[in-house]
Amino acid sequence: MRPVPPLQEPPPPASRPAAGWEVAIGPGVERAATARAYVRGEHDPPHRPLRIYTLDPTASVLEGCVAQVNVPFEPLRPGPRSAVFEVLGDGYRSVDLDEPALLLRAGRDPSPSDPRFAQQMVYAVCALVYHAFRQALGRHLAWGFEREPDADGAARLRLRPHGCEARNAFYDKQRGELCFGYYRADEQVHGRSLPGGYVFTCLAHDIIAHEATHALLDGLRAHFTHPSGPDVLAFHEGFADLVAVLQRFGHRAVVEAGLRAARGRPDRAELLTGLARQFGQTTGAPGALRSAIALDADGRIAALPYDAGAEPHVLGSVLVSAAFEAFCTVFTRKTERYVRLATGGSGVLPPGEIPADLRTLLADEAGKLAQRFLALCIRAIDYSPPVDLELGEYLRAVVTADHDLVPDDRWGYREAWIEAFARRGIYPRNVRSLAEDALRWQPPQRPLLPVRELSFAELKFDGDPGNPANADELRRQAQVLGRVVRLSPEQFGLADADAPELRGDAVDAPVIQSVRSSRRAGPDGQVVFDLVAEVTQRRHVRHRGEEFDLFGGATVILGPRGEVRYVIAKNVLNEERLERSHAFIRGVGRERYWTRLPGGHWQPAPQLFRMLHDGGAAG
């Protein structure tokens, strides 16, 4: 295991900018210029078939243990090394998936003792997760790690299947890599693992998808790794679990096996709801490490209560269970007609196996619904504030994102989300009610004029609206948005350096963190184009003899004609936010996520994701 780097003294507070500050351009804008996925050629096949474990090596063949998946095609160098990923061998020979024999055989045979299959496995699952994000957002994706681009100018996330000997797997933001650990199982294990045998986290589908999601989310929202409150890291963990669960529904054999055992009830299908089963069974748990949902004594979905003092994985599980309950609610609404037809109108299944045709229909609906829920969960990130995210705000983001794309919610998707969150005590701040129209983000209170220079007629693309022309074009877009922000900074959650509400604190000049185009395709074929941007500002807080950083800012969504549709702001001057953040840092936060330096400055602990996953919480 690599040593954790030591804490460093924070940079001195920035000097106060003049009243006419210029908006700075952040590194995220520059990184977006390196977001280049492979463009398939005219004679390229659409997919590369590869075999993977759908769960982990201990799953039964009757559970659909192995699947052949279609990874979007691109030429690969040994590693594999693609346009966005590079698998490191860590002393093992690198697999070459372009070898003719492997092309004919859909890659290497699944085996827990073959290091080159492990390389194939992490590449294939990460590529599928990346593709799901790219489809949902309608653009190429940029990474958020701090490592410099490779020699060819591309930014690749490095994947290390055998990165360390530890009961851990984590995203390393500084090195720009996913590190998967391996370890010896306990002497007392459950399931089909060997006591004392080696367990490889790089062979667990859930753990790979979870860690890939951490890296992708960091690229979308860099400040979601700043632990300003209890929900920030909990969202990172819960969202990563949610993506892993919903990705599993893409494996048809697993879905059918799970629904068969649970008599058509996804909430009772441990095969579909359990996360990291082998990891849990080899580290002291009788079953999976975590579950997407819990049932009460009567077999109904239990509402795990929101607890701001809970550990991030526990609090994240509240988010996962709420989202999965909404999934189950809509699934029941869409499939109860099939059950009525299969039971002569009674809707009550007789004892024994459910009919094979009904099982097929239920699996079809579950797969399609999971795909839509996954896309919605990902799209909602574009509708979330750029800093200090709370779970209630994510609910508002989900409701708004879905309404924008599907105004006619005939199956009650949004109603199911709202009810599931309310059952767990997750309520947004500053809303009049839980009615859908009250939860949706609203246009700016003071209307802003359309920004013609940011209309799609003026934007320059490299062929595809999801691909900006070059770094110069991205900087132009950021500069235009900066001029808009300067006209009304308070609407964007920003403060002038001389604002009396700062009470002597210093603030940095605002930063345009990103400007990204978005193309969203709805279930009925409708397409929505937007431009999504983030502007943030750091406040150097001196409060009661202590110092820490508080970030404010806004997510700005502009329509294709340059109209400002939403400004989703978190005000850097908000005293309630400041007090809540200070209380969290001094309380729950200081136990693990923050460290106080000798001068009184609180600083986030390094390698947060590694720390969060230590002690048996990997993936």
| pLDDT tens column, 281-313 | 999 888 899 999 988 888 888 898 999 999 999
Separation CA 602–CA 373 (nearest Å): 38
Separation CA 235–CA 612 (nearest Å): 13
Counting DSSP H helices and E strands in the chain, the numbers are 16, 19
Is the CB of residue 79 less than 8 Å from the CB of residue 150?
no
Which tokens sit at 47? Answer: 């997919």
Is the CB of residue 543 less than 8 Å from the CB of residue 596?
no
For residue 21, the model assigns a pLDDT of 66
- Length of the chain, in residues: 619
Distances (CA, A) of 598 to 10, 547, 550, 579: 11, 11, 20, 22
**At what angle are helices 230-248 and 115-137 packed, to 10 degrees?**
110
Distances (CA, A) of 417 to 274, 376, 377, 401, 439: 21, 11, 11, 13, 11
Separation CA 343–CA 498 (nearest Å): 71
What is the pTM for the complete model shown? Answer: 0.94
Separation CA 296–CA 300 (nearest Å): 5
Name the region of 503 (left: φ>0; alpha: ψ -120 to 50; beta: rest). Answer: left
Separation CA 247–CA 380 (nearest Å): 17
For residue 41, the model assigns a pLDDT of 81
Is the CB of residue 63 less than 8 Å from the CB of residue 133?
no
**Upstream peptide bond of 110 is cis (omega within 30 degrees of 0):** no
Is the CB of residue 260 less than 8 Å from the CB of residue 354?
yes
Q: What is the largest CA-CA distance in the chain?
A: 76
Separation CA 128–CA 125 (nearest Å): 5
Nearest CA among 254, 271, 268 for reference residue 331: 268
Residues in the chain where the model's pLDDT stays below 50: 1-19, 616, 618-619
Nearest CA among 68, 162, 163 for reference residue 108: 68
Nearest CA among 225, 202, 43, 92 for reference residue 146: 225
For residue 8, the model assigns a pLDDT of 42
User: How far from the centroid of its chain's Cα atoms is residue 417's Cα?
Assistant: 18
In DSSP terms, 527 is beta-bridged to 521
Kind of pairing between the strands at 157-165 and 177-184: parallel
For residue 20, the model assigns a pLDDT of 52
Q: Give the list of residues 6+ apart from residue 34 with CB closer than 8 angstroms, or none.
A: 142, 149, 153, 154, 155
Is the CB of residue 375 less than 8 Å from the CB of residue 415?
no
Distances (CA, A) of 229 to 13, 388, 391, 474, 512: 22, 7, 11, 32, 23
For residue 220, the model assigns a pLDDT of 95
For residue 2, the model assigns a pLDDT of 37
Separation CA 379–CA 576 (nearest Å): 29
